[in-house]
Each structure stands twice: as structure tokens, then as C-alpha cells.
Amino acid sequence: MKNVAVVGSQWGDEGKGKIVDWLSSEADVVVRFQGGHNAGHTLVIDNVTYKLRLLPSGVVRKNKVSIIGNGVVVDPWALLDEIKEIKSKGVEINEKNLIVSEAANLILPFHREMDEIREDAAGKAKIGTTRRGIGPAYEDKVGRRSIRVMDLVSEKNLEHRLEIVLMHHNAIRKGLGKDIYEKDKLMQDLLKIAPEILKYSKPVWKKIDEFKSKGKKILFEGAQGILLDVDHGTYPFVTSSNTVASAAATGSGCGPNSINYVLGITKAYTTRVGEGPFPTELKNEIGEKLGTIGKEFGTVTSRKRRCGWFDGVLVRQTIKISGIDGIALTKLDVLDQLDEIKMCIAYEVDGKKIDYLPASAEDQLKAKPIYQSFKGWNSSTKGIRKFDDLPNNAKIYIKELEKFIQTKVASISTSPERNDTILIVDPFRD
């Protein structure tokens, strides 16, 4: 049996929620290892829709352990609200099936305010964040002034840690002409919810080691996509954490040898939320059509996603960066009504043809896609569960895509329903 890491191979929104839920039927443990409640995973199970932001996708299934790792930044109020929401749909959540790392860093109200202040002040230079305080919380983590879950145990320690972090934030707030943040009310608000958060708190690295020693199958669930990775993405239009598969080890407290298979979730076309370069973006009727059929609106923010053709250059690049062993190709059915389908196979930058996305944002914005065209299939693939049952032109598109990105297509998703999946490789076994 293998442990599997699931990551997005594009800019996020590739359909990780469905795939992780599908895989979690085999897994014993599901671990979130980075990001915050800016990650929206939508699951549809028995006609019930669950919209998860912080909770791992395994939480809606019985007899699974869900873990929020040390690499995640946690808004404690958002977490408790989400637990309440999911419980209202008949899902049991308790200290036995949900574990939150004692080392996870907290998102506090002044983080959210700072996120909003910066975005509003940036004007045209804004990043396009979800304004949930994720970036400022990660900054405090790196700056060694953050409040962690474990700090909620001691009132004296919590007061000391708040003094340190507010000294930093209030200096910035004063400089921006904003009111300073008062410590006392925030401290009382945190102490009020501390028991509810702490009951889930454990040393996650130790629990994962125990699960490994018992031969449990572990699924590591990433948020966002590799192109939003703070080191490897389209910087500065990125998230504030590492979204590559190797972050699963750091963000949960286990060695990289704990991950035996990396599955890259890959949409059959490309979407992006927020600002930043997008070489294959379609600002025309086809882009609108993809967005409408694919229901391309953010789970967390309801923001409309930008849509474009499949970018093979980018996916091939992220596959190499993240060590992806196979891809789960999603939303194939969204392409059913198109006469012609295109795939980007190279770029032109300043008159030169290149086979990768350059690191410079200036060059990324200049990149013009060079396409290979395919005939559409103009017939429904929705609900198909066998590769041989796909239209011939759909098979050709998939095989050429697989050949170009130099990685096997492990599965194909043909609708939002969990079972509407063509399984080619079982990541836990093959």
C-alpha cells in the first residue's frame, strides 16, 4: 500500500475536492498540509453538497481521521463555524476523527484587516487575494511572532505572545493612519474559544508516525495549485505557502519518503482566479462558454474564474517541479460542445520560441501561446466510466496531452459526481 499526495498542477480550482473524496474511500487518514480557509473544495455525495475550506475532504466520510497539519494557517473562528456547518448536514466530527496540529499558526482579526488594507491600497498592482488574512499570518510565522494553537493553553503565555505580535502590527497600522489594535478584547475572545480548539489539538508529527507504524494509508491533500507556489509560481501573483508535493512532508511533520505517489489534479482546460499572467486566457465567447458550462465560480469567494485553453507547457513544468507521477484529468465533459480544441505547446517571448514559462513576471506577461489544434467531439462524455467508451476525438486529445506533458493520465473525471471517473491507475496500489 502507498501513501499519496494530491496537488493541483495549475492555478488551483482543478477539482481536487472530488478526487480527494474519491481517493479517501481507500485512505485511512487525510491530511491538509498548507494554505488556509482560502482553499475551497466542493464535494457532492449522495446529492448533498459540502463546501470545505479548512477541513480535509475525508471529514465527510465515516471511519476516517482528518488532520490539519502544522503547515496550515488556521482562523479558529472560521474553523469552528465550518465544523458547525458540516455537522448540521449530519456529519459527525469529534476529537477522534479530527486532529489539529498544536504547531499550526492562527489567523487573527488584524491579519484579515491587514490583507484588506494592502489590497485596497495597491490599486492596479493588487495581487487578488481572498482577503482572509492568509498572507499576513504566514508573514508573522516567518517573522517568529505568530500565535500558535499551543499558545492558547496558557493565559500568561498568550498575553506575552499577543504583546509581541501587536507591537509589530500596531506600528504598521499607525503608519497607515489606522487605529491600533487593542489586546485585551482579542485575548478574551481567544480564551473563550480556546477549549473548543484545544480539544482537537495534538502533536501531528507523532500521530502520523503512529499511523505509519500501523500500516495506515495516508492521503496528503494540497490546496491551491503549483502555479501559486510562493517559490515556483507566477510570483508575485501567488499564495503565501509552498503548494508543491514536497510541502506535504514539511507541513505535516514526516519525511519525504512517507510519500510514495504524487497525483497532480489537472483540468482539461485552464482557469485562474485573481490577477497575474495567464498566457492561454480566452477573453471571448469560447472563454465565456467554458466558464458557464464549467460553472467557474470560486467555492470560497464566488469570484468568476478566468478561462483559457489547456496549457501543456505549464503543466509539463509543474509536473517536473513537483515530482508528479500521474495526473487526474478533470472536467473533460466541459469540452463536449466545442468544434475545435487547442493546447498550448510553446510560447513566443520577444520573437523567440521557448518551451517553458520564464520566472520573470514581465516575460510571463509577454508570453504568447503557440497552439496545436484538435477536432472537437461534439458528443457527451458526461458520466462515462470506461476509456473505450469515450468519443474517438476525445481519446486522441487525451493521448496527445499525455504524450506532451510526459506523464501518464491516471484517471479521467467526466462529471462532478464521485463515481463518474475513469480509473486507469490506482495511486494507492499500482
Quick check: is 13 catalytic? yes
Contacts of 221 (CB under 8 A, 6+ apart): 6, 16, 20, 30, 31, 32, 33, 56, 57, 58
Q: What is the 3-state secondary structure (H, E, C) of 2-48?
A: CCEEEEECCCCCCCHHHHHHHHHCCCCEEEECCECCCCCEEEEECCE
Quick check: is 151 catalytic? no
The single residue of 21, 37, 41, 229 carrying the catalytic annotation is: 41
DSSP H stretches of helix in 176-235: 183-198, 204-213
What's the Cα-to-Cα distance from 214 to each of 51, 79, 397, rounded to whole Å?
31, 29, 42
Q: Which of 103, 102, 58, 107 is nearest to 79 (CA)?
A: 107
Cell numbers representing residue 125 in the block: 498592482
Exposure class string for 94-116: b at 16+ Cβ within 10 A, else e = eeebbbbbbbbbbbbebbbbbbe
Contact, 37 vs 239, CB < 8 A? no
How far apart are the C-alpha atoms of 285 and 300, rounded to whole Å?
A: 26
The residues that are catalytic are 13, 41
